A and B are shown apart, each in its own frame.
Chain A
Protein backbone atom coordinates (compact mmCIF):
# COMPACT_ATOMS: atom_id res chain seq x y z
CA UNK A 1 0.00 0.00 0.00
CA UNK A 2 1.73 3.18 -1.20
CA UNK A 3 1.57 6.39 0.81
CA UNK A 4 0.76 8.37 -2.35
CA UNK A 5 -2.23 7.17 -4.36
CA UNK A 6 -2.22 6.90 -8.13
CA UNK A 7 -4.63 5.21 -10.52
CA UNK A 8 -3.03 1.97 -11.72
CA UNK A 9 -3.62 2.70 -15.39
CA UNK A 10 -4.40 5.39 -17.93
CA UNK A 11 -4.71 5.42 -21.69
CA UNK A 12 -5.09 7.70 -24.66
CA UNK A 13 -4.71 7.86 -28.40
CA UNK A 14 -1.92 9.68 -30.22
CA UNK A 15 -2.37 13.44 -30.05
CA UNK A 16 -4.68 13.32 -27.04
CA UNK A 17 -4.11 14.93 -23.66
CA UNK A 18 -4.03 12.66 -20.63
CA UNK A 19 -3.78 13.46 -16.94
CA UNK A 20 -2.36 11.29 -14.17
CA UNK A 21 -3.25 12.17 -10.59
CA UNK A 22 -1.43 11.65 -7.30
CA UNK A 23 -3.10 12.03 -3.92
CA UNK A 24 -1.29 12.40 -0.62
CA UNK A 25 -1.63 14.13 2.72
CA UNK A 26 -0.55 17.19 4.67
CA UNK A 27 2.75 15.60 5.69
CA UNK A 28 3.92 14.97 2.13
CA UNK A 29 2.28 16.69 -0.87
CA UNK A 30 0.64 19.25 1.38
CA UNK A 31 3.96 20.54 2.71
CA UNK A 32 6.62 19.50 0.20
CA UNK A 33 7.12 19.63 -3.53
CA UNK A 34 6.10 16.80 -5.85
CA UNK A 35 8.32 15.12 -8.39
CA UNK A 36 7.33 12.88 -11.29
CA UNK A 37 9.33 10.07 -12.84
CA UNK A 38 8.95 8.24 -16.13
CA UNK A 39 10.08 4.62 -16.35
CA UNK A 40 10.27 3.10 -19.79
CA UNK A 41 10.17 -0.71 -19.94
CA UNK A 42 13.41 -2.28 -18.72
CA UNK A 43 15.06 1.01 -17.81
CA UNK A 44 15.78 3.06 -14.71
CA UNK A 45 13.37 5.84 -13.73
CA UNK A 46 14.00 9.27 -15.21
CA UNK A 47 13.13 12.60 -13.61
CA UNK A 48 10.28 14.19 -15.56
CA UNK A 49 8.97 17.01 -13.34
CA UNK A 50 10.45 18.47 -10.15
CA UNK A 51 9.35 21.18 -7.74
CA UNK A 52 5.68 20.52 -8.59
CA UNK A 53 5.84 22.03 -12.07
CA UNK A 54 9.43 22.38 -13.30
CA UNK A 55 10.85 20.47 -16.25
CA UNK A 56 14.49 19.39 -16.32
CA UNK A 57 16.45 20.31 -19.39
CA UNK A 58 15.57 18.01 -22.26
CA UNK A 59 12.04 17.13 -21.14
CA UNK A 60 9.54 18.22 -23.80
CA UNK A 61 7.05 20.91 -22.85
CA UNK A 62 4.27 18.41 -23.63
CA UNK A 63 4.79 17.31 -20.04
CA UNK A 64 3.50 19.57 -17.28
CA UNK A 65 2.90 19.28 -13.56
CA UNK A 66 0.59 21.01 -11.12
CA UNK A 67 -0.38 20.79 -7.48
CA UNK A 68 -3.31 21.86 -5.34
CA UNK A 69 -3.48 21.14 -1.63
CA UNK A 70 -2.64 17.50 -1.07
CA UNK A 71 -3.01 16.39 -4.69
CA UNK A 72 -0.82 16.70 -7.74
CA UNK A 73 -1.25 16.01 -11.43
CA UNK A 74 0.91 15.21 -14.42
CA UNK A 75 -0.47 16.19 -17.81
CA UNK A 76 0.81 14.91 -21.12
CA UNK A 77 -0.43 16.70 -24.21
CA UNK A 78 0.05 15.64 -27.82
CA UNK A 79 0.40 12.02 -26.69
CA UNK A 80 3.01 10.01 -28.57
CA UNK A 81 3.65 6.27 -28.75
CA UNK A 82 7.00 6.71 -26.98
CA UNK A 83 5.16 8.08 -23.93
CA UNK A 84 3.96 4.57 -23.15
CA UNK A 85 5.61 3.97 -19.78
CA UNK A 86 5.05 3.82 -16.04
CA UNK A 87 4.77 7.15 -14.25
CA UNK A 88 5.45 7.67 -10.54
CA UNK A 89 4.91 10.64 -8.25
CA UNK A 90 7.11 11.17 -5.20
CA UNK A 91 7.47 13.60 -2.32
CA UNK A 92 9.33 13.99 0.94
CA UNK A 93 7.17 13.06 3.93
CA UNK A 94 7.65 14.84 7.25
CA UNK A 95 5.60 12.32 9.20
CA UNK A 96 6.01 12.12 12.97
CA UNK A 97 7.06 8.46 12.78
CA UNK A 98 10.16 9.44 10.84
CA UNK A 99 10.87 11.52 7.73
CA UNK A 100 11.08 9.57 4.50
CA UNK A 101 10.61 9.70 0.75
CA UNK A 102 7.31 8.32 -0.44
CA UNK A 103 6.23 7.18 -3.90
CA UNK A 104 2.92 6.59 -5.57
CA UNK A 105 2.15 3.08 -6.71
CA UNK A 106 2.68 4.07 -10.33
CA UNK A 107 0.40 4.58 -13.32
CA UNK A 108 0.86 2.48 -16.43
CA UNK A 109 0.13 4.65 -19.46
CA UNK A 110 -0.96 2.92 -22.63
CA UNK A 111 -1.03 4.69 -25.98
CA UNK A 112 -3.76 3.01 -28.01
Chain B
Protein backbone atom coordinates (compact mmCIF):
# COMPACT_ATOMS: atom_id res chain seq x y z
CA UNK B 1 0.00 0.00 0.00
CA UNK B 2 1.37 3.39 -1.01
CA UNK B 3 1.84 5.69 1.97
CA UNK B 4 3.11 9.25 2.14
CA UNK B 5 3.54 10.79 5.58
CA UNK B 6 4.50 14.44 5.96
CA UNK B 7 6.07 15.97 9.04
CA UNK B 8 7.90 19.11 10.11
CA UNK B 9 5.10 21.65 10.04
CA UNK B 10 4.49 24.12 12.82
CA UNK B 11 4.33 27.76 13.85
CA UNK B 12 7.13 30.04 12.66
CA UNK B 13 7.65 33.79 12.61
CA UNK B 14 7.87 35.73 9.34
CA UNK B 15 11.39 35.48 7.97
CA UNK B 16 11.96 32.15 9.67
CA UNK B 17 12.71 28.70 8.25
CA UNK B 18 11.20 25.22 8.36
CA UNK B 19 12.12 21.89 6.80
CA UNK B 20 9.31 19.58 5.79
CA UNK B 21 9.80 15.85 5.29
CA UNK B 22 7.73 13.23 3.52
CA UNK B 23 8.35 9.56 4.27
CA UNK B 24 7.32 7.27 1.43
CA UNK B 25 6.56 3.55 1.53
CA UNK B 26 4.77 0.88 -0.46
CA UNK B 27 6.33 1.70 -3.83
CA UNK B 28 9.68 2.16 -5.55
CA UNK B 29 10.36 5.74 -4.47
CA UNK B 30 13.36 6.19 -6.77
CA UNK B 31 11.19 5.60 -9.85
CA UNK B 32 8.76 8.47 -9.33
CA UNK B 33 8.75 12.22 -9.61
CA UNK B 34 7.58 13.81 -6.36
CA UNK B 35 5.91 17.13 -5.67
CA UNK B 36 4.79 19.49 -2.94
CA UNK B 37 1.32 21.04 -3.22
CA UNK B 38 -0.09 23.47 -0.66
CA UNK B 39 -3.52 24.73 0.34
CA UNK B 40 -3.98 27.96 2.26
CA UNK B 41 -6.86 27.99 4.77
CA UNK B 42 -10.16 28.03 2.89
CA UNK B 43 -8.40 28.30 -0.47
CA UNK B 44 -7.66 26.05 -3.43
CA UNK B 45 -4.70 23.86 -4.30
CA UNK B 46 -1.41 25.47 -5.35
CA UNK B 47 1.49 23.52 -6.79
CA UNK B 48 4.76 24.41 -5.04
CA UNK B 49 7.62 22.33 -6.42
CA UNK B 50 8.53 19.22 -8.37
CA UNK B 51 11.60 16.97 -8.42
CA UNK B 52 12.19 14.18 -10.92
CA UNK B 53 13.09 10.66 -9.89
CA UNK B 54 16.86 11.11 -10.28
CA UNK B 55 17.04 14.80 -9.31
CA UNK B 56 17.54 15.71 -12.96
CA UNK B 57 14.64 18.17 -13.17
CA UNK B 58 13.57 20.53 -10.42
CA UNK B 59 10.85 23.15 -10.80
CA UNK B 60 9.36 25.77 -8.51
CA UNK B 61 6.29 27.97 -8.50
CA UNK B 62 7.16 31.64 -8.94
CA UNK B 63 5.73 32.34 -5.49
CA UNK B 64 8.44 30.27 -3.77
CA UNK B 65 11.37 30.46 -6.20
CA UNK B 66 14.57 31.52 -4.45
CA UNK B 67 13.14 30.81 -0.98
CA UNK B 68 12.22 27.10 -1.05
CA UNK B 69 14.44 24.15 -1.98
CA UNK B 70 13.12 20.70 -2.81
CA UNK B 71 15.32 17.63 -2.39
CA UNK B 72 15.04 13.88 -2.03
CA UNK B 73 16.89 10.93 -0.55
CA UNK B 74 16.16 7.90 -2.70
CA UNK B 75 18.09 5.58 -0.39
CA UNK B 76 15.95 6.72 2.55
CA UNK B 77 12.66 6.99 0.60
CA UNK B 78 12.21 10.59 1.69
CA UNK B 79 11.24 13.91 0.14
CA UNK B 80 12.12 17.27 1.67
CA UNK B 81 11.18 20.92 1.36
CA UNK B 82 13.48 23.50 2.92
CA UNK B 83 11.51 26.71 3.37
CA UNK B 84 13.42 29.93 4.10
CA UNK B 85 12.36 33.56 4.37
CA UNK B 86 8.84 32.45 5.20
CA UNK B 87 5.99 34.90 4.71
CA UNK B 88 2.51 35.10 6.20
CA UNK B 89 1.12 34.08 2.80
CA UNK B 90 3.02 30.77 2.99
CA UNK B 91 0.59 29.64 5.70
CA UNK B 92 -1.00 26.46 4.37
CA UNK B 93 -1.32 22.72 4.61
CA UNK B 94 1.58 21.25 2.65
CA UNK B 95 0.95 17.94 0.88
CA UNK B 96 3.52 15.71 -0.74
CA UNK B 97 2.24 13.90 -3.79
CA UNK B 98 3.58 11.16 -6.02
CA UNK B 99 3.45 11.68 -9.77
CA UNK B 100 2.83 8.91 -12.29
CA UNK B 101 1.64 11.19 -15.08
CA UNK B 102 -0.67 12.75 -12.53
CA UNK B 103 -0.72 13.26 -8.73
CA UNK B 104 -1.91 9.75 -7.99
CA UNK B 105 -1.15 9.51 -4.28
CA UNK B 106 -1.20 12.26 -1.63
CA UNK B 107 -0.11 12.43 1.97
CA UNK B 108 -2.38 13.71 4.73
CA UNK B 109 -0.56 17.05 4.84
CA UNK B 110 1.32 19.05 7.45
CA UNK B 111 0.23 22.52 8.58
CA UNK B 112 2.65 25.42 8.35
CA UNK B 113 1.59 28.62 10.09
CA UNK B 114 3.63 31.78 9.58
CA UNK B 115 2.65 34.41 12.11
CA UNK B 116 4.23 36.87 14.48
Query: Do A and B share a complex?
Result: yes
Judge whether A105 and B61 touch: CB under 8 Å.
no
Judge whether A44 and B95 touch: CB under 8 Å.
yes
In whole angstroms, what is the CA distance A106 to B39 when docked?
11
Cross-chain contact of A45 among B50, B61, B95, B101 (Cβ < 8 A): B95
Please provide the chain B residues from 72 to 116 with a CB less than 8 Å away from any CB of chain A in the complex.
Answer: 95, 101-109
> Interface code A84-112, partner B: CB below 8 Å = 1, 0 otherwise?
00101010000000111111111000000
Q: What are the residues of chain A within 8 A of B50 when measuring CB–CB?
A: 100-101
In whole angstroms, what is the CA distance A101 to B99 when docked?
11
Chain B contributes a number of interface residues (CB within 8 A of A) equal to 20
Q: Knowing A45-B103, A99-B59 touch, does A88 contact B45 (C-beta < 8 A)?
A: yes
Please provide the chain A residues from 57 to 86 with a CB less than 8 Å away from any CB of chain B in the complex.
Answer: 86
Judge whether B47 and A45 touch: CB under 8 Å.
no
Closest to A91 in B: B102
At the interface with chain B, which of A10-18, A19-27, A46-54?
A46-54
Least distance between B19 CB and chain A CB atoms (Å): 21
Judge whether B101 and A51 touch: CB under 8 Å.
yes
Judge whether A44 and B102 touch: CB under 8 Å.
no
Judge whether B109 and A50 touch: CB under 8 Å.
no
Judge whether B106 and A46 touch: CB under 8 Å.
yes
Which 5 A-B residue pairings sit nearest by Cβ, starting from the closest? A101-B47, A35-B102, A106-B44, A50-B102, A44-B106
